[in-house]
Amino acid sequence: MQTSSSRFLTTAVMLLLLINTGLVIYLVLDKNKSHRSYNRERPDIAALFAKEVDLSVEQAQHHRILHEAHFKRVGALHDSIRLVKIALFTAATTSTADSLLLLSNQKINNWQIAINAQTVSYMQKVKDMLTDQQKKKYDQFIIKMMQRGHRDSNRGH
């Protein structure tokens, strides 16, 4: 009876060793593929847009110029919002947190209003360069991108 149980334990240990070795090999060979969603680059929205809406070469070039200028302007505002939030959250333990919160919210709201206004202006400029058929595709593209953004923001929930 004793040899039977020791033989069983030896077999079980050997089997576990083989499984663990196989798992380690799999993980090492697959390490470049793990965490793909965290390491992926952002898609080229301008190129995706040009393809989805069937832009001509001239339209695609004009759109890329508008797109880059818009995101450069808006990016600076987002950076300002980020800095105010950092300052707010690092000072959250101080006695002035309430007044700092009010002031920070006012600044952030003003910047967000500016971002929204610039985005609407950008979208109108893009729409003005499109044909009627492309405008329909553009509206569908915008809805799709907004729905994608909603899915991205709900990943942790």
Q: Distances in Å between the alpha carbon of 59 and those of 64, 122, 124, 133?
A: 8, 14, 14, 14
Do the Cβ atoms of 138 and 157 come closer than 8 Å? no
What sign does the dihedral 110-114-117-123 (CA atoms) show? negative
Condensed to tens digits (0 to 9), the pLDDT of residues 20-72 reads: 887 777 777 766 554 555 555 667 888 888 999 999 999 999 999 999 999 99
Predicted TM-score (pTM) of this structure: 0.63
Once rounded to an integer, what is the mean pLDDT over residues 129-135?
94
Once rounded to an integer, what is the mean pLDDT over residues 77-97?
80
pLDDT at 18: 83
More confident residue, 31 or 133: 133
Residue 86 pLDDT level (bands cut at 50, 70, 90): confident
Chain centroid to CA 47: how far?
Answer: 17
Once rounded to an integer, what is the mean pLDDT over residues 142-154?
68
Maximum separation of any 2 CA atoms in the chain, in Å: 87
Condensed to tens digits (0 to 9), the pLDDT of residues 95-129 reads: 666 777 888 889 999 999 999 999 999 999 999 99
For the 42-153 domain, the top CATH level (class) is mainly alpha
Per-domain boundaries in the chain:
2-37, 42-153
Q: Which one-letter DSSP state was computed for residue 43?
A: P
> CA–CA separation, 138 vs 48, rounded Å?
11
pLDDT at 21: 83
Condensed to tens digits (0 to 9), the pLDDT of residues 3-20 reads: 778 888 888 888 888 888
